[in-house]
Structure 1
């Protein structure tokens, strides 16, 4: 069954209704809210309050809302620069089948964050004692399976292929030996998850924050350098600033495959309702299927 453009519009209308109800429950006005991102979460910037609202759109990943709240509280406790939850609101807020979280909006200077800033923030995060973290253990394959199984009306052959790839990578991950200590890891550490404010750069997006191998937080920039067209070698800058080059470690090829599978399958649950991402999803699927490690990808929009 082929999805129409109206699927995307109707989904956005439903999300705005959820936003309106969520805001009403905490005493906020959703009038004029701007949808600033719509992939696995719908992210709205309120027009009448300095607040950003994130609504989980993927049923299989709604369990992440508790992780996001716990991660934000942990970073605040340890003084790691990060976006902060709206105070005095019990979070996450349940609105029917949806979960919403409310965040204090931070002033964005518009300056592009740097790999040096990312390295500094990761070092601070990685030094948090793991025994103080009420966070899940790193399990990227479980996360991937949830997304893939939640694919809405996508080609069944693609879905079955991706699930087989998960099985293969899970077995190979079990053999990886890590060089760095376990730590509190962001889970999706790339420059798009930083915001530059007048007071400094802060972390955001804690959906996959967990306790696991610190190497995982160095993989996104390395894979981004290989897969996306970066004129500046951000991986080299990050490796030098952090003090570890993940690409020279013998476990990198396996973690690269996991990251690339995540970059491909992440949007499957919303591919039907977000027509803007379908052509890029198909490009990535072709690359993964044939083992093509050279084709350049473009970011999902």
Structure 2
């Protein structure tokens, strides 16, 4: 027996391409030969005929954050911050066939590969940016994880119960942490995959998790990436040096590591059936996460 819901509207790859055609027709764009470049908790297309990226919220958790994404993008643009820009001239987000969609100007990836030091400079600037949106949410990471677990696709009852128990345990441990950095605006999902090698330098993207919270959290994903992911480079060392704080030396880091790994496991739970190609990697992650084996290396979802 598996636990399955269909709250994401059956966003299979075939359904996504049909939805993309409707989005482009509504926005006056051409969807021919579009490339699906990501399909996890969001589906992201790059249009071939125009320099536009189309982002479809693929789960209830993703849909609940779309308005925040739009507000944050406009705030960053107002400060000329190096971040992706919403496509001008159309209402954002679009509502198409029951789905929330955002359109973005494509940032050509033609610059040098960004490294941890580049990310440190971008993060330091983000963390000192003035006048954040007044309605920016507080950082509540378990809300997002539990939303994903509310709409599982082909998840066994045992795995589902285990992940819910992990939410409770990690939430309790988070509440006991003594943060040392000042709280404020955080990106919420800072890893090198959310940094684009733009023509004018590194550009930040993906603001689904932007919130008011502990700055330690913005330094944790790259640190966890060095320890857990099968990446060819160590980006954590230059990030820590450039930012001036090594989160792995802070006593609360093991809790943030467990939280980050929980998010990396649950991020695709709502699309395990819709996108079957990710299942082998998800099962690999789930086995090692459940057994608490921190020596196993993970690979990106494809």
Range of TM-score over shorter length: over 0.9
Per the normalisation by structure 2, the TM-score is 0.93
SS at match of 1:87: coil
Q: Which position in structure 1 is the counterpart of 2:62? A: 61
- Could you list the per-position Cα deviations for residues 36-79 of structure 1 after superposition, in whole angstroms to 9, with x for gaps in the alignment? 11111111111221111001111343111111111111111222
Mapping for residues 223-262 of structure 1, pairs under 5 Å: 223-262=224-263
Matched, 1:49 2:50: yes
Q: Which position in structure 1 is the counterpart of 2:280? A: 279
C-alpha RMSD of the superposition: 1.8
Query: Structure 1 stretch 18-27 or stretch 127-136: which is displaced more?
Result: 127-136
Q: Which position in structure 2 is the counterpart of 1:197? A: 198
Tell me, which stretches of 5 or more residues in structure 1 are unaligned?
A: 4-8
SS at match of 1:247: helix
Q: Which position in structure 1 is the counterpart of 2:179? A: 178
Deviation of residue 259 (structure 1)?
0.3
**Residue 61 of structure 1 contacts residue 146 of structure 1 at CA under 8 Å; is this kept in 2?**
no
Per the normalisation by structure 1, the TM-score is 0.94
Whole-angstrom distance in 2 between the partners of 1:10 and 1:58:
9
Whole-angstrom distance in 1 between the partners of 2:140 and 2:148:
13
**Residue 147 of structure 1 contacts residue 269 of structure 1 at CA under 8 Å; is this kept in 2?**
yes
**Residue 139 of structure 2 contacts residue 213 of structure 2 at CA under 8 Å; is this kept in 1?**
yes
SS at match of 1:62: helix
Mapping for residues 22-171 of structure 1, pairs under 5 Å: 22-109=23-110, 111-129=112-130, 132-171=133-172
Tell me, which stretches of 5 or more residues in structure 2 are unaligned?
A: 5-9
Q: Which position in structure 2 is the counterpart of 1:222? A: 223
SS at match of 1:201: strand
Deviation of residue 129 (structure 1)?
3.6
Whole-angstrom distance in 1 between the partners of 2:233 and 2:35:
32
- Could you list the per-position Cα deviations for residues 75-132 of structure 1 after superposition, in whole angstroms to 9, with x for gaps in the alignment? 1122210010001211111112211000001111164211111111111111124654
Alpha-carbon spacing, 1:192–1:131, altered in 2? closer, same or farther (3 Å)? closer
Whole-angstrom distance in 2 between the partners of 1:52 and 1:104:
6
Q: Which position in structure 2 is the counterpart of 1:6? A: none
Whole-angstrom distance in 1 between the partners of 2:35 and 2:185:
32
Alpha-carbon spacing, 1:61–1:132, altered in 2? closer, same or farther (3 Å)? closer
Aligned length: 296
**Residue 21 of structure 1 contacts residue 95 of structure 1 at CA under 8 Å; is this kept in 2?**
yes
Whole-angstrom distance in 2 between the partners of 1:183 and 1:234:
23
